[in-house]
């Protein structure tokens, strides 16, 4: 018989004051900013679909896929046991669950299939909740979604590939596309000598006779998700840098000369395989006009940049959710953390940043919806993509870092979601154009596309009249854009480049301020404007001005 001492756990083994797991919640329905934005922007028709996914992603099982896929990294098999080339990456089953779910819920295809208002916003909401659960697998999902934008430049290829790209069947088998029920697209631009300046690419494309078929030879330093079925590739042909579609298998059903050299040992994004690849006379088809590869692939890049903005907002949202959950259950000094005044300041500040991020990402997605029929929205999307990608990519790592600290030491431990979110966050600023490159793109849009400037000014005008501090900020930014900046852009030279980050920041804050006064609560808009636009804020989160209405701001969270 056990003694009573043996029956009860030793004091050190009692899990006192530990936080219950955050499971069985709906990632969509619990996000008021997102649900409101979805109905405001014409995507109400998709709400049941998004909500269904939101519920699934909140289950313990779906959460475990993210942890498993991250822990059990993909493995490259360059050769089979007989020494033949294999060039296959093998993934943990959890990766396949994630991929299957995202394909079935049409994260890769919705706006291409549903030609109706709100389709981009609906898909942005799907991505926003999915990236909160596991962001790594959204890389091939995003590239597939975006790749179609480039393929449109080649109608014959579009006709051939789009039915399988748009399929809701996830088919991970390594087989020729003809034998599969669904296929995925990737992209390979970056080379050893540089990713920002793709004009320096040395990969060569040799034309086969007079056809639109080419043989590609060269090396790509980053090629993510190499198990995709075909890749948009940049290579130098006779007429200059051109865009190609390079499948893993040739049309005659042989493996293409696509050799995976190794997988990158990455800081984060570990569930996803990112590789170095060698092409040795790999068969490919020209996409768009020969010699105009950058302008062909830029349509794909713009869509992936949209996704970078959405994913950054997603990481901020999930960090906030985790931080608020933890602080709502953990006590210190006799009170729940969420009731400690200084912690309330930190959480409210994080909430404001997250709300403004979501509003900006969804506003951007809405402009992608409208840009098909509205030139003004097209011009807005052009410049707002760069602004949002830069700003949200920069805010997210600091935001996640601060949210992680709200969990104390528990946030630093892999069993919490926080390290995974933290490692993922800087990626969205690096790929698809790193911070400086994107800021220079903002300058490029302003100097070369007058419609982009006009669209931005229109957007600012529509936010005026609701808060005089915001009005003053917008007037200053407008004066800058139409005065100093315009003049400096005209003069050319390097001087204007030194101001590119300051400018991109101010434009992002102007957009966010406008969105907050229009769509957030009065208390949140007020705190956002006094802290971010009127300068009543420190350099860290948790430095909101004393009068900020923390109860109202945090009230929207619970």
Task: Give me the residues that bind ligand FAD (CB under 6 A), please.
Answer: 186-190, 194-196, 222-224, 266, 269, 274, 427, 430-432, 434-437
CB of 511 to ligand FAD, least distance (A): 22
- 123/105 Cα distance (integer angstroms): 9
Question: Between 133 and 275, whose beta carbon lies closer to ligand FAD?
Answer: 275
> In the bound complex, what is the minimum distance in angstroms from residue 295's beta carbon to ligand FAD?
16
Q: Which is nearer to ligand FAD, 232 or 337 (CB)?
A: 232
* 34 versus 185: smaller Cβ distance to ligand FAD: 185
For residues 299 and 380, is the Cβ–Cβ distance under 8 A? Answer: no
Cα 325 to Cα 201: distance, rounded to the nearest angstrom = 48
Lookup: tokens for 47 = 């709400």
HEC letters along 175-237: CCHHHCCCCCEEEECCECCECCCHHHCCCEEEECCCCCEEEEEEEEEEEECCCCCEEEEEEEE
E-strand stretches of 362-463? none
Distance (Å) of CA 336 to CA 17, 403, 549: 10, 16, 19
Question: What is each CA distance from 282 to 186, 220, 246, 277, in whole angstroms?
Answer: 16, 13, 7, 11
CA atoms within 13 A on the CB side of 423: 19
Structure tokens at 423: 């490692």
Smaller CB separation from ligand FAD, 195 or 411: 195
Q: What angle do CA 173, 175, 179 make, to 5 degrees?
A: 100
List residues bridging with 287 in a β-sheet: 243
**Least Å from the CB of residue 200 to ligand FAD:** 9
398: tokens are 């600091």
CB of 194 to ligand FAD, least distance (A): 5
Quick one: which of 337, 304, 492 has its CA closest to 411? 337
Q: Coil, strand or helix: which one is 392?
A: helix
Nearer Cβ to ligand FAD, position 4 or 498? 498
Residue 196 or 375: the one with the smaller Cβ distance to ligand FAD is 196
Task: Give the E-state strand segments of 264-359 in sequence order.
Answer: 274-287, 331-332, 335-336
User: Quick check: 533 and 460 in contact, CB under 8 A?
Assistant: no
Burial class (CB in 10 A: 0-12, 13-18, 19+), 17: exposed
Give the nearest distance from C-beta 402 to ligand FAD in angstroms: 23
Q: What is the 3-state secondary structure (H, E, C) of 354-376?
A: HHHHHHHHHHHHHHHHHCCCCHH
Q: How far is the CB of 49 from ligand FAD (least distance, A)?
A: 28
| Cβ proximity to ligand FAD, 270 vs 325, nearer residue | 270
Q: How far is the CB of 109 from ligand FAD (least distance, A)?
A: 19
Q: In angstroms, what is the minimal distance from the CB of 333 to ligand FAD?
A: 42
Instruction: Report in angstroms how near the CB of residue 224 gets to ligand FAD at its nearest.
Output: 3
CA dist 302 and 307 (Å) reads 9
Quick one: tokens of 386? 């760069």
Q: Which is nearer to ligand FAD, 269 or 302 (CB)?
A: 269
CB closer to ligand FAD out of 190 and 203: 190
Identify the DSSP state of 27: T
Pick 407 or 421: Cβ nearer ligand FAD:
421
Helix (H, G, I), strand (E, B) or coil at 40: helix
Whether the CB-CB separation of 421 and 319 falls below 8 Å is answered with: yes
Cβ 502 to ligand FAD, closest distance in Å? 14
Nearest to 408 by CA among 323, 342, 334: 323
- Phi and psi (nearest 5°) for 281? 55, 50
Is 189 or 442 the residue whose CB approaches ligand FAD more closely?
A: 189
Q: How far is the CB of 539 from ligand FAD (least distance, A)?
A: 22
Q: State the minimum distance, in angstroms, from the CB of residue 375 to ligand FAD.
A: 29
Q: How far is the CB of 9 from ligand FAD (least distance, A)?
A: 44
β-strand partners of 186: 231
**Nearest residue (beta carbon) to ligand FAD:** 195
| Residue where the block lists tokens 């936010």 | 463
Please report how close the Cβ of residue 119 comes to ligand FAD at its closest, in angstroms: 25
In the complex with ligand FAD, which residue's Cβ is closer, 258 or 473? 258
């Amino acid at each position: 018989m056990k003694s009573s001492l043996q029956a009860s756990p030793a004091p050190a083994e009692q899990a006192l004051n530990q936080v219950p797991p955050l499971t069985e919640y709906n990632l969509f329905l619990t996000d008021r900013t997102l649900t409101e934005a979805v109905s405001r922007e014409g995507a109400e028709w998709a709400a049941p679909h998004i909500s269904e996914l939101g519920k699934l992603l909140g289950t313990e099982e779906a959460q475990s896929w993210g942890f498993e896929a991250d822990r059990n990294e993909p493995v490259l098999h360059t050769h089979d046991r007989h020494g033949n080339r294999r060039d296959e990456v093998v993934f943990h089953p959890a990766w396949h669950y994630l991929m299957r779910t995202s394909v079935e819920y049409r994260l890769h295809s919705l706006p291409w299939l549903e030609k109706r208002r709100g389709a981009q916003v609906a898909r942005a909401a799907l991505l926003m909740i999915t990236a909160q659960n596991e962001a790594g697998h959204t890389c091939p999902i995003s590239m597939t979604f975006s790749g179609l934008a480039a393929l449109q430049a080649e109608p014959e290829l579009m006709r051939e590939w789009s039915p399988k790209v748009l399929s809701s069947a996830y088919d991970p088998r390594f087989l020729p596309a003809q034998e599969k029920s669904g296929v995925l697209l990737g992209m390979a631009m970056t080379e050893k000598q540089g990713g920002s300046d793709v004009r320096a690419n040395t990969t060569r494309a040799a034309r086969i006779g007079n056809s639109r078929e080419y043989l590609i030879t060269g090396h790509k330093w980053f090629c993510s998700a190499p198990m995709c079925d075909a890749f948009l590739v940049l290579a130098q042909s006779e007429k200059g840098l051109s865009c190609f579609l390079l499948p893993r298998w040739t049309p005659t059903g042989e493996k293409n000369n696509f050799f995976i050299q190794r997988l990158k040992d990455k800081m984060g994004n570990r569930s996803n395989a990112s590789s170095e690849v060698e092409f040795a006379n790999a068969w490919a088809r020209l996409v768009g006009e020969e010699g105009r590869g950058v302008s062909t692939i830029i349509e794909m890049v713009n869509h992936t940049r949209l996704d970078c903005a959405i994913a950054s907002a997603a990481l901020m949202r999930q960090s906030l959710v985790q931080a608020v959950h933890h602080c709502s259950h953990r006590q210190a000094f006799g009170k729940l953390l969420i009731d400690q005044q200084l912690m309330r300041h930190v959480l409210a500040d994080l909430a404001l940043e997250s709300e403004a991020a979501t509003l900006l990402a969804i506003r951007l997605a809405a402009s992608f919806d409208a840009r098909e029929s509205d030139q003004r929205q097209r011009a807005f999307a052009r410049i707002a993509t760069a602004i949002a990608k830069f700003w949200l990519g920069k805010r997210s790592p600091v935001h996640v870092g601060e949210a992680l600290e709200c969990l104390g030491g528990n946030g630093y431990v892999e069993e919490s979601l926080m390290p995974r979110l933290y490692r993922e966050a800087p990626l969205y600023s690096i790929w698809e154009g790193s911070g400086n490159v994107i800021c220079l793109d903002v300058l490029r849009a302003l100097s070369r596309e007058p419609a982009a400037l006009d669209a931005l000014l229109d957007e600012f005008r529509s936010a005026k009249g609701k808060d005089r501090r915001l009005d003053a900020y917008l007037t200053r930014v407008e004066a800058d854009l139409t005065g100093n900046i315009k003049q400096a852009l005209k003069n050319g030279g390097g001087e204007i480049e030194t101001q590119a980050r300051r400018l991109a920041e101010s434009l992002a804050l102007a957009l966010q301020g406008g969105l907050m006064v229009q769509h957030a609560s009065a208390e949140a808009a007020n705190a956002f404007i006094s802290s971010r636009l009127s300068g009543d804020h420190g350099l860290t989160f948790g430095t909101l001005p004393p009068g900020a209405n923390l109860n109202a701001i945090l009230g929207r969270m619970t």
